[in-house]
Amino acid sequence: MSYSIYPSCFICGTGKSVSLFERFGKYTIYSCVGCGLQFSEPRDYDSHSYDEAFQGDNDFSSLGYIARLSSFQTYPLYNFERFILRWLRCSVPRGSFVLDLGCGGGVMLYHLRRRGFQPLGLDVTPSSIQRLQEQGFTAAVGSIDSYPSDWPEPVAILMLEVLEHLPDPVDFIRRVATRFPRSYLIVSVPSSRRFTLWRGTREVGDYPPHHFTRWTPKALTTLFKNYGYTPRVFFPFLSPQNISGSGIGMFVFSLFRKQSGAPTTSSQKPIRLDIRLIRLKQVLFLPIAAILHLLGVRDISMVVVGTPSFLTTDND
Ligand SMILES: [Zn+2]
């Protein structure tokens, strides 16, 4: 009998095999045979290792965060964001309070308000919150533990692109579920069926200390069920603006030769994303997105909707 020095999966618990997946700097990434979750050890955030991992060229500038922060009224949404707004329109009453936990620059707050909801924003970045308050949004600095006492109970809680950054995602979901057990919980994480993975390489942003976990539908649903939610996972249609000429080339290349391993370099892309160019791409690349859809490729993020237990329990 041999001892495993590998950590156990924090979704499945002990008794499930975990295998070494890859190494990236000081981080070791493990993969769970049971639920498919990939997680880093250690999962500690410090600015030094952050700088070390992402010095020089990096992919964050290409994500459009800066453009989205400064022009969120006109910046085109990703399809997973549209999907969530549609789901809310169909599932909860107009005028409902919807909390965006980790609201960032307020893209979703703006679109929630436009669609008749009453958005509430929490984020740990004071500069974003201050600007949102100036624009008339109900927003506060903090997280779920410092939820303002004079705010109402939200009907739904959004956590978009947050979970994968957290050193202890299970504890975070536990705290949300404990604080608001009657709210829908809607989480998005990078999709296991996203376009960029099909290109054969993983984005440098998908490595620690940026992302500590990589989720599968099974890992997400297990986590949600553990805290009393009835989960449903959705893979929204690929956003055409995510497709580029070089991306198509890489995709075709990947069909013949699968690349693997951590990225050593990443391409420098322009920080400024022209909104009109994105709109054009939404039209031009729509047929290609449809073809990729048939091949099983989906949007950059997948969405899990957790229905709270009181809504699924029979009244008997
Ligand atoms: Zn697992």
Output b/e per residue, 70-86; b: 16+ Cβ within 10 A: eebeebbbbbbbbbbbe
Ligand 1 mean position to 214 CA, how many Å? Answer: 11
Question: pLDDT: is 70 or 223 the higher one?
Answer: 223
Q: Is residue 268 part of a domain?
A: yes
Strand partners, 29: 22, 40
Q: Are 199 and 251 in contact (CB under 8 A)?
A: yes
Q: Is residue 286 part of a domain?
A: yes
Q: Are 125 and 69 in contact (CB under 8 A)?
A: no
Question: pLDDT: is 75 or 27 the higher one?
Answer: 27
- What is the β-pairing status of strands 138-141 and 118-123? parallel
Banded pLDDT at 60 (limits 50, 70, 90):
very low
Ligand 1 mean position to 32 CA, how many Å? Answer: 5
Ligand 1 mean position to 226 CA, how many Å? Answer: 13
Say whether pLDDT at 86 is over 90. Answer: yes
Ligand 1 mean position to 15 CA, how many Å? Answer: 10
Banded pLDDT at 248 (limits 50, 70, 90):
low
Q: Is residue 27 part of a domain?
A: no
Q: Which two tokens stand for residue 221?
A: 């649903």
Banded pLDDT at 272 (limits 50, 70, 90):
very low
The half-sphere exposure of 188 on its side-chain side, counting CA atoms within 13 A, is 26
Domain, as residue range, for 220: 57-92+155-312
Average pLDDT over residues 80-85: 96
| Total structural domains within the chain | 1
User: If you ran DSSP here, which 8-state letter would residue 159 be given?
Assistant: E
Ligand 1 mean position to 302 CA, how many Å? Answer: 18
**Which of 227, 310, 269 is closest to 62 using CA atoms?**
269
Q: Is residue 113 part of a domain?
A: no
Say whether pLDDT at 254 is over 80. Answer: no
Question: What is the CB neighbour count within 10 angstroms for residue 252?
Answer: 10
To the nearest whole number, what is the mean pLDDT of the chain? 81
Q: Is residue 29 part of a domain?
A: no
Q: Is residue 20 part of a domain?
A: no
Strand partners, 188: 160, 303
pLDDT above 90 as % of the chain: 46
Q: Cβ contacts of residue 299 below 8 Å, gap of 6+?
A: 78, 79, 80, 83, 191, 194, 195, 235, 236, 237, 238, 239, 242
Ligand 1 mean position to 13 CA, how many Å? Answer: 7
Q: Is residue 209 part of a domain?
A: yes
Ligand 1 mean position to 24 CA, how many Å? Answer: 21
Question: pLDDT: is 123 or 65 the higher one?
Answer: 123
Banded pLDDT at 54 (limits 50, 70, 90):
very low
Q: Is residue 5 part of a domain?
A: no
Ligand 1 mean position to 234 CA, how many Å? Answer: 20
Ligand 1 mean position to 8 CA, how many Å? Answer: 8
